[in-house]
Amino acid sequence: MENASKSPLANEPLLRIEGVSKIYDGHIKAVDQVTLNVASGEIFALLGGSGCGKSTLLRMLAGFETPSQGRIYLGGTDITELPAYQRPINMMFQSYALFPHLSVSDNIAFGLRRDGMAKEAIAERVEAMLKLVQLSQYAKRKPHQLSGGQQQRVALARSIAKQPKLLLLDEPLGALDKKLRVSTQIELVNIIEEVGVTCVLVTHDQEEAMTMATRMAVMSAGSFLQVGSPKAIYQQPNSRQVADFIGSVNIFDGPVKENHTNYVLVQCADALLRVPHSQPCQDGMGVGVAIRPEKMALSRKKPSAKVNHVAGVVVEMAYFGAHTSYHVKLASGKVLQVQVQSHADEDNADLCWGDQVYASWADNAMVLLTQ
């Protein structure tokens, strides 16, 4: 009885995308068979370069494009065919798309008026929204009388004023300069969490995706390469493309020499690597091994272990305060990026251009990539 009263909707994710494709001109697949669930309260990021299909997918969620195949469900209801103006979904546009002929408060009230809300209720909501984004004293201004950051906040207020079930953010910080971005990122997430709205955002900036999202998908050529938490994707990329796209990475190539149950020995040009087993592979198969620059250590002394270190010459170094970044040229000609925390190793303090060094790392710093 307990189970019967619980409708199947109880387990239904807020947003369910089922095998959605968008095909232009009969053969160009902008989005290719994408399936995704987004739970209520999540901030989900679609990350990818330009032309990867992330914007098209977002536009299909907003209702500006209709999928060629597949269905989209919101809270269990099929919204695939629903026009944009009937969806309980609102979008914050990349260039904000604020109405230039309306004041800040009229911009925010725009959507509420379409719903036929009472005048007093609208005024109240607009005031609350202005307070939320800290723009109360700018209510009467026109968009062009605001700075970029203020415009961005008006756009946010307008898109959440209708209390949508799903909020879409298209490159939310794309139009801001670098300095403003970091502070705005945090502010934006705070507001979204305060309102408690589920959110799908599109970005080409991996930092933005990682700091804002609870979960993200890396997209390429219309489909998902990997879906997971930012941490999982950073630590355990499932392909060369993902590893390369998220942060900086060093990738060694080589054939599998020995395939053991717990680890694989990979013979690279510069070293023998003992890599934890994460993906199935066979002897002799060509694989890649990814190591993040910050997981390496530099030393003048040769490490005692037989595996997981290389020798090279420092060809470039840059001091960043908290860390120092080195470029180490190996015998094979490959240039390794290494990042060393400033306080980590006093031994490195006097490393200089042209010095002979050894870079070494732990087994679990490496990820095996078979594709």
Task: Return residues touching another protein (CB under 8 A).
Answer: 62-64, 83-86, 89-91, 93-95, 97-101, 110-111, 114-115, 142, 144-148, 150, 158-159, 162
Q: Which amino acid is at 101?
A: H
Triad 249, 253, 257: Cα angle to 5° = 130
Beta carbon of residue 19, minimum distance to another protein (angstroms, whole number) = 25
Q: Which is nearer to another protein, 2 or 115 (CB)?
A: 115
Task: Describe the crossing of helices 104-114 and 148-160 by its angle, rounded to 10 degrees.
Answer: 20
Beta carbon of residue 343, minimum distance to another protein (angstroms, whole number) = 40
Q: Which is nearer to another protein, 110 or 263 (CB)?
A: 110
Helix (H, G, I), strand (E, B) or coil at 36: strand
Burial class (CB in 10 A: 0-12, 13-18, 19+), 113: exposed
Q: Kindly report the backbone phi and psi dihedral angles of residue 361, in degrees, each rounded to the nearest multiple of 5, phi listed first.
A: -160, 165
Instruction: Give the list of residues 6+ apart from residue 286 with CB closer than 8 angstroms, or none.
Output: 253, 254, 255
Q: Which is nearer to another protein, 113 or 131 (CB)?
A: 113
Q: Which is nearer to another protein, 52 or 98 (CB)?
A: 98
Under DSSP, the state recorded for 247 is S
**Starting from the edge strand earliest in sequence, which strands make up the sheet with 250-259, in order?**
272-276, 263-267, 250-259, 286-291, 366-369
Beta carbon of residue 216, minimum distance to another protein (angstroms, whole number) = 23
C-alpha to C-alpha distance for 158 and 121, rounded to whole angstroms? 15
Burial class (CB in 10 A: 0-12, 13-18, 19+), 276: middle
Q: Which is nearer to another protein, 110 or 234 (CB)?
A: 110
Beta carbon of residue 152, minimum distance to another protein (angstroms, whole number) = 13
Beta carbon of residue 193, minimum distance to another protein (angstroms, whole number) = 22
Q: Which is nearer to another protein, 48 or 63 (CB)?
A: 63
Under DSSP, the state recorded for 297 is E
Helix (H, G, I), strand (E, B) or coil at 353: coil
Beta carbon of residue 87, minimum distance to another protein (angstroms, whole number) = 8
Q: Which is nearer to another protein, 162 or 292 (CB)?
A: 162
C-alpha to C-alpha distance for 266 and 311, rounded to whole angstroms? 17
Beta carbon of residue 227, minimum distance to another protein (angstroms, whole number) = 26
